[in-house]
Structure 1
């Protein structure tokens, strides 16, 4: 019996023999009948990075989720080299299953440069050691299947506000903070920064839409609710380690037309801003 792949295995996409700039990746097992979007985001980022000079760091990725992914079908990633300039490189990536695109995105890479420096400050929240893991914070009445899922997922999460898995926030607000990390044995930050940034793309997709739910008094378990990511944009500002605790501060500035917009900021323990994220998601409510 073959061991299930880890997140590190899945992100380590490999060239497809006999092709140019095409890569293949495995899928993580999951309880959902469709691929987790963060997995495909991370794989696309790594595939693009494998075609760029290692001295150029991934600084932004903009992707659209086109179709639900099938967890039983391997993902192929076709990279198109759009431009290699003096300081920047651009790549288009198509994530395909059975020749049909499930995600289309563009990644941009940059050589290191000096320039202006400023960043929005992090909120004053407890450190991760002062918060219970989500699977403990849920309490004794939590279904065993949910507790098993929370304990087994690749991202460890500790909510500052009450988790939204089963019940809404009793005090609806349009923002939240979580600490997250990937319990992986990743290479050193300077050895494979593309891998760390791809892992952050994976992690950023886990809770990004929760402020939309929180503001509207909803939970993931709300009967009849349907939530799906439509697009995802991410900007990396500084080198980061995805296997350290990171503070993810998210907010929802708007929701309309069965869509909700969320933004997020990722900070390290020293409260340095590492990355900024934005995502719009489809959010359909049950018919009355």
Structure 2
């Protein structure tokens, strides 16, 4: 499955719209392959900015997964409150990058997601932490 503008996303497991329907109670984890949809920039700062954009597109998905919720079906709404990234190595965003995400906490309408981004060869590119505000709408 692909979605997004400028970035291609492919879920390793069921995408959130399917996981919400059939996987309530599952682990708060999600793995996604991402890459630039077009020609990759050669500028390192621009590549890092594209990684940041890609990471924000789906970072809070694992927060909702154990509760059978998803942004796109109207069962939940929310927004990012804080998004931090630590870059460990330069990246090539024209190659597939694995985003391994997990959510250690959801309480009082605030969720935390943590993710690592890896090259296909297993090199750690960056670490992400995002906190979001969430509301159940059904």
Q: Which runs of 5+ in 2 are unaligned?
A: none
Structure whose residues are more often helix by fraction: 2
2:33 corresponds to: 179
**Larger C-alpha radius of gyration, 1 or 2?**
1
TM-score under structure 1 length normalisation: 0.45
Aligned-residue RMSD, C-alpha: 1.7
Does residue 277 in structure 1 map to residue 128 in structure 2? yes
Does residue 236 in structure 1 map to residue 78 in structure 2? no
Does residue 210 in structure 1 map to residue 61 in structure 2? yes
User: How far apart, in 1, do the equivalents of 2:17 and 2:63 lie?
Assistant: 14
**Bigger relative contact order, structure 1 or 2 (CA pairs below 8 A, ≥6 apart):** 2
Q: What is the number of equivalent residue pairs in this alignment?
A: 136
CA contact (8 A) 2:30 2:102 kept: yes
User: How far apart, in 1, do the equivalents of 2:75 and 2:61 lie?
Assistant: 17
Assess, with a 3 A threshold, how the Cα gap between structure 1 residues 166 and 220 changes in structure 2: closer, same or farther.
Answer: farther
Q: Following TM superposition, where does structure 1 have runs of at least 4 consecutive aligned residues deviating by more than 6 angstroms?
A: none
User: How far apart, in 2, do the equivalents of 1:249 and 1:209 lie?
Assistant: 12
CA contact (8 A) 1:226 1:284 kept: yes
